[in-house]
Amino acid sequence: MEPQCEEVEQEKEAAAAMLWSVQEAVERQTLQIGASACGATAVVDVLKALGVEATPEEVDRHVQTRLRRNESLLPDYLLSRSEAGATHVQLIQGALEASGGKVMGRFFHLHPRRQVRLVPWLARWIRKGAVPVATMNMQLGVPEGEEVPDAWHHQLIFGVAANAVFMTNPLDVVSEEEAQQRLCSDSVLLIRREDVLQRWTEDCSLSSLSENPSDRRWRDLDVEGQVWKMVLEAELDESGAKVAHIRIPAAYSSGVTLFTLQDSTLGQELLTEPEIPLL
């Protein structure tokens, strides 16, 4: 074999690591256990991969999945959308509690951009026995012509190969570039035009959002101004392109949580592992 070909093969080999085969993932993966419960669903599979028993109901209770308040007026609806589901913090706490203290997790931020090649980095940890869960902004990297999803998503990563990331719920394989793009996102969420306008009323006060003392991002993003622009467009009913979404703060951070058994060498290693350096 030519030296150059050998190097390519070695690189491919270094990038490959699987918790489960694709067939095992088909048989073992957990399908979404409830509304907004992709995080809890991922934790169910984390515990399964680590050989720890817990029911989906137990896991969901400990993760404390938050629901959208679809019947609320616009301000409260938007607040509920900003935190619906779960954050990586809830996943880590949920896994710890649902496992009776046996499972720990460590989150690694991937935004802003980091000095890392995603697939080899994941492969290294998977080979050590870690179980990764991706927290991704699915509203990024949407192919032209396709509808923009309306949420972020947590997915267990059951393996990687050269330029491929394998995930559950749904069973999927995406390119390294696509995964990297979704894993490197600011904490924002797009809300569809129809979801805003159908909850808008003339006596709706949006100032509570801008004045939110616990999160100044509502003011920084001028969510109130974005809504007014959308409402005025609808009232004028002029032809031409309309604003399709507003941007609101999101509770989630993009990155990867690595889970392992608490009382393990790997657990100690994860606790002391530094954050991935910024680019």
CATH of the domain at 64: 3.90.70.30
Distance CA 43, CA 35 (A): 15
Q: What is the pTM of this model?
A: 0.93
User: To 10 degrees, the CA torsion angle through 19, 23, 27, 30?
Assistant: 50
> Is the CA virtual torsion 158, 168, 105, 190 positive or negative?
positive
Q: Are residues 174 and 205 in the same domain?
A: no
What per-residue confidence (pLDDT) applies to 7? 52
Q: Are residues 218 and 160 in the same domain?
A: no
Q: Is residue 278 part of a domain?
A: no
Cis peptide before 56 (omega within 30 of 0): no
Q: What residues contact 56, with CB distance under 8 A and at least 6 apart?
A: 30, 33, 40, 41, 44
Q: Is residue 223 part of a domain?
A: yes
Q: Is residue 1 part of a domain?
A: no
Q: What is the pLDDT along the chain (279 residues), one digit of tens a residue?
A: 554 555 545 556 667 999 999 999 999 999 999 999 999 999 999 999 999 999 999 999 999 999 999 999 999 999 999 999 999 999 999 999 999 999 999 999 999 999 999 999 999 999 999 999 999 999 999 988 899 999 999 999 999 999 999 999 999 999 999 999 999 999 999 999 999 999 999 888 888 888 887 899 999 999 999 999 999 998 887 777 789 999 999 999 999 999 999 999 999 999 999 999 999
Q: Are residues 175 and 198 in the same domain?
A: no
The residues pairing with 276 across neighbouring beta strands, listed in sequence order, are: none
Q: Are residues 20 and 118 in the same domain?
A: yes
Q: Is residue 85 part of a domain?
A: yes
Q: Is residue 277 part of a domain?
A: no
Q: Are residues 26 and 91 in the same domain?
A: yes
What per-residue confidence (pLDDT) applies to 208? 84
Distance CA 147, CA 142 (A): 8
Q: Is residue 163 part of a domain?
A: yes
Q: Are residues 193 and 258 in the same domain?
A: no
User: To 10 degrees, the CA torsion angle through 164, 166, 18, 41?
Assistant: 160
Q: Are residues 97 and 167 in the same domain?
A: yes
- Hey, what are 275's tokens? 């954050």
Domain span at residue 88? 7-187+251-272
Q: Are residues 130 and 201 in the same domain?
A: no
Q: Are residues 217 and 151 in the same domain?
A: no
Q: Are residues 108 and 159 in the same domain?
A: yes
Q: Are residues 180 and 237 in the same domain?
A: no
Q: Is residue 71 part of a domain?
A: yes
Q: Are residues 109 and 228 in the same domain?
A: no
Question: Domain count of the chain?
Answer: 2
Q: Is residue 15 part of a domain?
A: yes
